[in-house]
Chain A
């Protein structure tokens, strides 16, 4: 708790810019930036974006997968922070303690579990995943750790609010800056998944490029699978400037749609089942 209070006052890697679009974002959403999560929510369902970011509606429920993923993130980040600080690496008990902390802020009755899940089964899965992580090469760092769960923000496109995000892990070696995102997944990732999920990291690496001018920029997904025998996968990609340009074009279009108030439901079997706005969505009439 004490550390948490102090941390809130630590510096942000990139301060807010003087981007005029930040003011528009603040008027619309109360926040003077866009997050990747907000952009991604809009692309999944524009109406869900409106409920969450414009109307500020509390979600009727939170999915267990979200809380579980946050817990795994918290544990893995604690491991890397210990490496940065030169502390002894936390053991499984310490990582499980960090994982459990993610469940504390949530009302247990508001957490929506899958049909075959319980809190106990997820805790057991977390222990298996973190054990696999500790035994994997990914538990060691090549080069130096520069940041863990690091806040980053900056203007990407003129006329679009600053992008604000948290980089899970920022490392460098003699010639490469690596931006890592930690993911939990039901199974191993295909190459298509790596490509499709890369946009967030492309944008973060674009913002982080000023940290080590002249160094090669690389994105890396660290995937912990939620399988019976968890696997730890690393997917490393060099940043492709053409892919960055395409992603930026997409960000601009999303912002134009938000600014213009284009919000509509986008029904999907996958997205709607775990959505926290099902009641509000049914009640929406345009």
Chain B
């Protein structure tokens, strides 16, 4: 089976030190004969990125044109999964988490108590995505549950460091603990 996993993520600065971000991930199963068709393969990959790019641009434009009455800008992840071909995707919109009161108490505390003034480095974001993909962890679910975020590039540098250490360790600490009662993120959903 030939599997394509492509994603685009963008964050733009807004007045008042706020920001708006959007990311789009496409996961698709492709016809394995494409491996013998270099041009065809490139076209499919390019289309996947172009589709993500367009979706992210539209979303950023929508977010930045809205009146900024909310204390923080909403963020949204657009997840597109197709199977077995890249045409006819289904789109799932995961709504922004702007109200942290919805989060479990322990996660609210973590979100409030660990504000990192510096964003995660690009290599940290890359590492988090790579580890999550390797361990088949649903990164969106993990980030939402633990930090109230939707993409890894919204993490601070300290949060990212700690998360990488945790994900890399052999201890199953990255998996949901029975005490939080929510095992949603330890699925085989792939990373983004």
| Interface residues of A, Cβ cutoff 8 Å to B | 1-3, 5-7, 9-16, 81, 84-87, 144-151, 170, 210-211
Contact = CB atoms under 8 A, between A and B. Distances in A.
A97 B45 CA distance: 22
A189 to B, nearest CB: 26
A5 B49 contact: yes
Given A10-B153, A211-B118, A145 B6 contact: no
Contact of B45 (A2, A16, A87): A2
Contact of A84 (B11, B119, B127): B127
A213 to B, nearest CB: 9
Interface residues of B, number: 30
Instruction: Give the secondary structure class of B's interface.
Output: helix
Contact of B157 (A12, A146, A151): A146
A134 B93 CA distance: 45
Most buried by A among B8, B11, B49, B126: B126
Nearest to A151: B122
A15 B131 CA distance: 26
A5 B52 CA distance: 11
B82 interface: no
B8 A13 contact: no
Interface in B112-139: 117-127, 130-131, 134
Interface stretch (B103-111, B160-168, B182-190): B160-168
A7 B124 CA distance: 12
Contacts of B13: 15-16
Contacts of B100: none
B161 to A, nearest CB: 6
B121 A147 contact: yes
A142 to B, nearest CB: 15
A11 B153 contact: yes
A165 to B, nearest CB: 14
B7 interface: yes
B165 A144 contact: yes
Contacts of B125: 10-11
A151 B118 CA distance: 13
A87 B131 CA distance: 8
Given A84-B164, A87-B130, A148 B45 contact: no
Contacts of A16: 13
